Amino acid sequence: MREFDFVREHEVPGAVKAGSRDAAKFIAGGTNLVDLMKCDVEHPAHIVDINALPLATIERVPGGVRVGGLARLSDVAAHPLIMQNFPAISQALLVTASPQIRNMASVGGNLMQRTRCMYFRELTWTPCNKRNPGSGCSAIEGENRLHAVLGTSDACIATHPSDLAVAVAALDGVLTLRGPAGERKVNATDFHLLPGNTPQIEHDLKHGELIESLFLPDAPHAKRSAYLKIRDRAAYEFALASAAVGLDLNGSTIRSARIAFGGVATKPWRAKFAEAALVGQAATPEVFRRAAEAEMKSAKSYGQNGFKIELMKRTLVRALTDLANVEPALSRFAPAGEPAPRSGGAA
């Protein structure tokens, strides 16, 4: 690891000032940054510890719930406001990493984590446009079983690794950012960027800006929401395909739907075509399959990762079918011995 200096800040303005210096980086849980420093992908000259900032609260505010950028993943997952009103968020966090990592990792750090593409982390011999712009992409004709089929470019096909970001994109989360120029708000769906010709630019966060909080708006489709993650092993693994889904049902008719995909795209993928295909339709597996087909029309295989196209469709159909058949916000959280009430149909 290269040399760096370290400062702990207790107030947001001081942190923003310290974080605005050249080659400065914030550190929260450190579970991603330290990893990347050890393999020399990241080499900040100044590290600004933000763990003492007062940004870890989870609270009700008008129209929704606000989650501080420093709230720990385990605290968010277990918070009653999140479990009851945004079950997809809680479920996405409960399948993230391991309990130990969730105790350390923060909301802001999770949204900012970098790709797990192995070429990105292997810097002794492989070209990687994200790590070294203009050097080429080793994955496009290399080992790409875990790579993206949506939102790719000739420069990069790496997936975005966050589970939380997928659920936040589906449920219309809004980030509050604070930097040297003051505060601004960005829709979560606009925060992460497609790679295009500049895969090294991954998000709409300017140097020195902090993710102060995440706002989750109340909505019927947020209350009836879920997250399904398919992976190579049942724990401690990133998604091959995942779906965050929310439904607002009138009887068995879909009033509104919210869908985002993970594990298959270069950014948390809001599935607008799938959502449009559901509105006004009956909540049936046939309709869900048509919605999946509509979204995956633009998917592109790079060889080894071609299986993800069908896997993503099946993941979406299963997630929506399960969701249509449970009461909002109850299914995964019924106490042991008390099975979750079932509506007996799609209503």
Ligand X SMILES: Cc1cc2nc3c(=O)[nH]c(=O)nc-3n(C[C@H](O)[C@H](O)[C@H](O)COP(=O)(O)OP(=O)(O)OC[C@H]3O[C@@H](n4cnc5c(N)ncnc54)[C@H](O)[C@@H]3O)c2cc1C
Q: Is 106 in the site for ligand X (CB under 6 A)?
A: yes
Burial class for 144, CB neighbours closer than 10 Å (0-12, 13-18, 19+): buried
With 0-12 CB in 10 A as exposed, 13-18 as middle and 19+ as buried, what is 20? middle
- State the distance between the two ends of the chain, measured CA to CA, in whole angstroms: 56
- Burial of residue 1 (CB within 10 Å: 0-12, 13-18, 19+) is exposed
Six token digits for residue 329: 């916000």
Among 50, 83, 157, 319, binds ligand SF4 (CB under 6 A): 157
Residues between 79 and 138 with contacts to ligand SF4, criterion CB under 6 A? 115, 117, 119-120, 128-130, 137-138
Q: Which does 156 bind (CB under 5 to 8 A by kind): ligand X, ligand SF4, none?
A: ligand SF4
Residues facing residue 179 across a β-bridge: 182
The span from the CA of 334 to the CA of 74, in Å, is 19
Q: Is 275 in the site for ligand X (CB under 6 A)?
A: no
d(CA 122, CA 183): 36
State whether residue 223 is helix, strand or coil.
Answer: helix
| Least separation in angstroms between CB 274 and ligand X | 22
- Nearest-5° angle of CA 60, CA 203, CA 17? 75
27 binds ligand X (CB under 6 A): yes
Note the residue count of the chain. 347
> Cβ of residue 186: shortest distance to ligand X, in angstroms?
12
Binding mask 214-253 for ligand SF4 (x = CB under 6 A): ----------------------------------------
Give the binding range for ligand X (CB under 6 A) out of 94-102, 120-128, 298-306, 333-341.
Answer: 94-102
The yes or no reply on residue 191 touching ligand X (CB under 6 A) is no
Is residue 165 near ligand SF4 by the rule CB under 6 A?
no
Q: How many residues of this chain interact with ligand SF4, rule: CB under 6 A?
A: 14
CB under 5 to 8 A by kind: which of ligand SF4, ligand X, none does 162 bind? Answer: ligand X
Across-strand partners of 228?
Answer: 243
Beta-bridge mates of residue 269: 261
Among 25, 79, 131, 192, binds ligand X (CB under 6 A): 25
By CB under 6 A, residue 238 contacts ligand X: yes
Of ligand X, ligand SF4, none, which one sits near residue 16, judging by CB under 5 to 8 A according to partner kind? Answer: none
Quick one: what does residue 275 bind among ligand SF4, ligand X, none, with the CB cut-off 5 to 8 Å set by partner type?
Answer: none
112 is a site residue for ligand X (CB under 6 A): yes
- DSSP lists the bridge partners of residue 259 as 245
What does the DSSP 8-state code read for residue 307? H
**Out of ligand SF4, ligand X, none, which partner does residue 128 contact, by CB within 5 to 8 A per kind?**
ligand SF4
Listed in sequence order, the residues at least 6 apart from 214 whose beta carbon sits closer than 8 Å to its beta carbon are 66, 67, 69, 107, 111, 168, 173, 174, 175, 176, 188
CB of 54 to ligand X, least distance (A): 12
Binding residues for ligand SF4 (CB under 6 A): 115, 117, 119-120, 128-130, 137-139, 156-158, 199
Binding residues for ligand X (CB under 6 A): 25-33, 35, 69, 96-97, 101, 104-106, 108-110, 112-113, 161-164, 210-211, 236, 238
